[in-house]
Chains A and B, each alone.
Chain A
Amino acid sequence: MRGVSQAKWVVAAVAVALAATACSSSGSSDSSGGSSDSGAVNAAGVFSYQSGEPQNPLQPANANETIGGRIIKNLFTGLVDYDPATGALRNQVADKIETTDAKNYTVTLKSGWTFHDGTPVTAASFVKAWNWSANVKNNQINSSWFSDIVGYDAVHPEKGDPTGTEMSGLKIVDDTHFTIELTSPVSYFTYKLGYSAFSPLPEGFFKDPAGYGEKPVGNGPYQFVSWEHNKAITVKAYDKYAGSNKPKNGGIVFRNYATGEAAYKDLMSDTLDVLDQVDSTDLPKFKDDLGKRAVDQPQGAIQNISFALYNADWSSLDKDKAAKIRQGISMAIDRDTITKTVLNGNRQAADAFVAPGVMGYKAGTCGDACKFDPAKAKQLITENGGVPGGKLSIMYNSDGSHKEWVDAVCNSIRQSTGVECIGDPKPDFKTVRDLVTKQQVPSMMRTGWQQDYPLNANFLRDVYGTGASSNDSHYSSPEFDKLAKEADAATSVEKTAELYQQAEAVLAKDMPSIPLWYYKTSSGYSNKVQNVKFDSFGDPVFTDVEVKK
């Protein structure tokens, strides 16, 4: 009799399966109906954006990756931010930030700013937030951003427990005024203040930082609604937002996509509204597919290959000769052809160590060294005794689609100069970082830099300064450091940018790394939205996106 009951069960399963199939075909047919083409805007309209799961809780000083970072930027507004069109600094919560010596700053806040829980944004909201974020005990990834401030070593000693909870360089004058004292002059400190680590935090945060990391309360243009882990993060426009960039839409759904291909498919059917980046598979055809809705724009980011200068073969050579050889290697690379063919025009050949669109970018700083000249390349290398060890390799992480261009660069070097060059793939980013921090890179490595703030100092000081945290080639030049220091002490940002250009010229001479190309934002948007523009960080100007009626 058992057999009979089994059969019944199977019949029931068939019925269920069939019913489910039928449901789906009728149920979802209406969801993808045609969108209207009228330009009328629905100010309360919500749009979706291709995103992923943030790596960390949503605390401003804890987001150093793009996914969490851009959500923080929408939820929080700091003293200043950057104009998305020009990259210029503009005041938001700050009414003015004054200094006479680039070391002592007086901040005056605008009144009328409130957090999403209704409490006002005061001087204490900033000072307390910064002290908390800098404290080593609170383990915020971006805490080193506060290291310019006097008293940082008390809350964040290199070893052991902090000796205090407050940085002595921060003083609250009254509700709308506070002062910042730096250990040494940093003329562009105001530029740094635009980074989201410097966001204010509401009083409630300090009672429950972990809880606020799951349900952030900020003062930005958007207010947190929900975080469905691995699915979506939803925010809505904050109606009492006091900043200059009031949202022109009702909110954003940051939708989690496992693959870029899936997101692209959804964009094509208007199921997703704004794409983050076109994945490499769809890159060759996205402009044809999207037409006017395709976005192709420069970004404040650069791709380099850097030399492991700490290796004996480089450090034992004559300094000038070694630099000439490195220039020769750089000249052997046909950047134009590689960016056009291998990289589908998604990159722009580099001519400086700083990306364009950044304040202080000066075209052609890299000089002849970044121009393709096989004859000169070969001459420079052979005249100065050849590449140390006779061969080169470029280390890269194979989880980041770098193989194609690394091979192309090596090919180019080999063909132009006859120097043996091979790609040196490592399984993933972690492995590469491990070898880089342990100084175990055999020859050259892929390095990249995306701006933290749009000023040339960020591309130079933080990457090539002696002992800088991202100085992967361990380049050290007294001349560069001296110029950088002078630039930091300048009294105006314009002067700083100019002095940093001189420091950049030192790099062109020493060639610790080879600038290859600048990144571009390749993206697109659906038929349901309009006025989608991207800034130099590669993020859309979320507040300007208009949802069509």
Chain B
Amino acid sequence: MGRFVARRLLQMIPVFFGTTLLIFMMVHALPGDPVAALWGEKAPDPAQLAARKHALGLDKPMLQQYFDYMGGMLTGDFGKTLAGRPVLDVITEALPVTIRLALFAFAIEIVLGVSVGLFAGLRRGKAFDKGALVVTLLLISIPVPVLGFIFQTVFADDLKWVTPTVQDSNDITQLVLPAFVLGSLSLAYVARLTRTSIAENIKADYVRTAVAKGLPRRKVITTHLLRNSLIPVVTFLGTDLGALMGGAIVTEGIFNVKGVGNALFKAINLKEGSTVAGFVAFLVIVYLVAGLIVDLLYAVLDPRIRYA
């Protein structure tokens, strides 16, 4: 197990450098001169344009910029935005907000998704199951902006429980609405995955054995049925955590949450390579770590899975 973890961690290094280099190259390939755009409709002053570019290191060849950037990153220097702010500041402002939002959405997803899936799977074909299928289908088919709009209209405009957008992104209680919208799609998938898995495994030999042993129903379900049925769900959840963090652009826009999606979108628009690469570096790490945890969780859920 220790060797497995070590090998996985080593594998992360080339993946990390590969992805960040790719992103760096892609941002570089975007058309237009970001520094010249600061002058708006006016023609930039060539001397000042050159000076600004030099200060930001944008006058160097692309690969050199990348290596400088990576070198800086190791010492905690993520470069500067076009406006001259340290990129690290931008990241440390936005990242906690999105982590909070994503984890919140993730919690909603797990708790609601797994429990709905479990009950639906146990009562397959009954009213609850059919209801769950309809509701999850609805959630899957409604686009996020529409869902966000419905939520704003119902909970803010009509019921007046909350303000339409998030006033303080650091206040976790205000994140309920966006978190639910963000997690809704995955919630539906989790519920459906769990349901199918449960419905399949309920006929499995080990469940029959457990029932035959005279174990109480609760015990059969939690330690035998659910634990084994969660493997596909955990796989999905692992990749989903990364998706939630990176994919919050739409939700963050609707609810004006000042998170990664928001900052990343702006940085891409401004062609701020260093900001984009910085965020992506973090997101890559989140993905990789989430992947590792998923693999490790397999062993916890099913001891038959062994690591070489």
Expressed in whole angstroms, the minimum distance between the Cβ of B29 and any Cβ of chain A is 12
Return chain B residues, CB-CB under 8 Å to A27.
173
- Please determine whether A23 and B173 come into contact, CB atoms closer than 8 angstroms: yes
Asked whether B31 is an interface residue with its Cβ less than 8 Å from the other chain, the reply is: yes
Give bound CA distance, A257 to B223, whole Å.
Answer: 48
- Please determine whether A447 and B39 come into contact, CB atoms closer than 8 angstroms: no
Return chain A residues, CB-CB under 8 Å to B172.
20
Give bound CA distance, A269 to B108, whole Å.
Answer: 27
Return chain A residues, CB-CB under 8 Å to B93.
229-230
Asked whether B111 is an interface residue with its Cβ less than 8 Å from the other chain, the reply is: yes
Give bound CA distance, A434 to B33, whole Å.
Answer: 6
Expressed in whole angstroms, the minimum distance between the Cβ of B304 and any Cβ of chain A is 14
Q: Known contacts being A16-B107, A437-B36, is A265 close to B262, with CB within 8 Å?
A: no
- Please determine whether B31 and A262 come into contact, CB atoms closer than 8 angstroms: no
Interface band, chain A:
35 or more
Expressed in whole angstroms, the minimum distance between the Cβ of A451 and any Cβ of chain B is 12
Expressed in whole angstroms, the minimum distance between the Cβ of A226 and any Cβ of chain B is 14
Asked whether A288 is an interface residue with its Cβ less than 8 Å from the other chain, the reply is: no
Asked whether B43 is an interface residue with its Cβ less than 8 Å from the other chain, the reply is: yes
Expressed in whole angstroms, the minimum distance between the Cβ of A530 and any Cβ of chain B is 22
Give bound CA distance, A449 to B42, whole Å.
Answer: 10
- Please determine whether A271 and B107 come into contact, CB atoms closer than 8 angstroms: no
- Please determine whether B33 and A28 come into contact, CB atoms closer than 8 angstroms: no
Asked whether A36 is an interface residue with its Cβ less than 8 Å from the other chain, the reply is: no
Question: Which of B1-9, B15-23, B84-92, B124-132 is found at the contact surface with chain A?
Answer: B84-92
Give bound CA distance, A399 to B30, whole Å.
Answer: 14
Asked whether B136 is an interface residue with its Cβ less than 8 Å from the other chain, the reply is: no
- Kindly identify which residue among B39, B47, B165, B263 contacts A159, using a CB–CB cutoff of 8 Å: B47
Asked whether B110 is an interface residue with its Cβ less than 8 Å from the other chain, the reply is: yes
- Please determine whether A28 and B90 come into contact, CB atoms closer than 8 angstroms: no
- Please determine whether A55 and B254 come into contact, CB atoms closer than 8 angstroms: no
**How many residues in B have their beta carbons less than 8 Å from beta carbons of A?**
65
Expressed in whole angstroms, the minimum distance between the Cβ of B147 and any Cβ of chain A is 14
Give bound CA distance, A53 to B258, whole Å.
Answer: 11
- Kindly identify which residue among A32, A431, A470 contacts B43, using a CB–CB cutoff of 8 Å: A470
Interface positions, chain B 120-176, Cβ under 8 Å from A, are 152, 156-157, 160-165, 167, 169, 172-174, 176
Return chain B residues, CB-CB under 8 Å to A210.
84
- Which A residue's beta carbon lies closest to that of B230? A6
- Please determine whether A24 and B300 come into contact, CB atoms closer than 8 angstroms: no
Expressed in whole angstroms, the minimum distance between the Cβ of A304 and any Cβ of chain B is 11
- Kindly identify which residue among A136, A230, A426 contacts B47, using a CB–CB cutoff of 8 Å: A136
- Please determine whether A17 and B39 come into contact, CB atoms closer than 8 angstroms: no
Return chain B residues, CB-CB under 8 Å to A85.
none
Which residues of B does A touch, CB under 8 Å?
30-34, 36-48, 51-52, 55, 82-85, 89-90, 93-94, 104, 107-108, 110-111, 152, 156-157, 160-165, 167, 169, 172-174, 176, 222-223, 227, 252-256, 258, 262-263, 265-266, 269, 271, 300
Cβ contacts A to B, 5 pairs, < 8 Å: A55-B38, A141-B38, A156-B45, A269-B156, A269-B157
Nearest 3 A-B pairs (CB), nearest first?
A: A430-B32, A265-B164, A24-B173
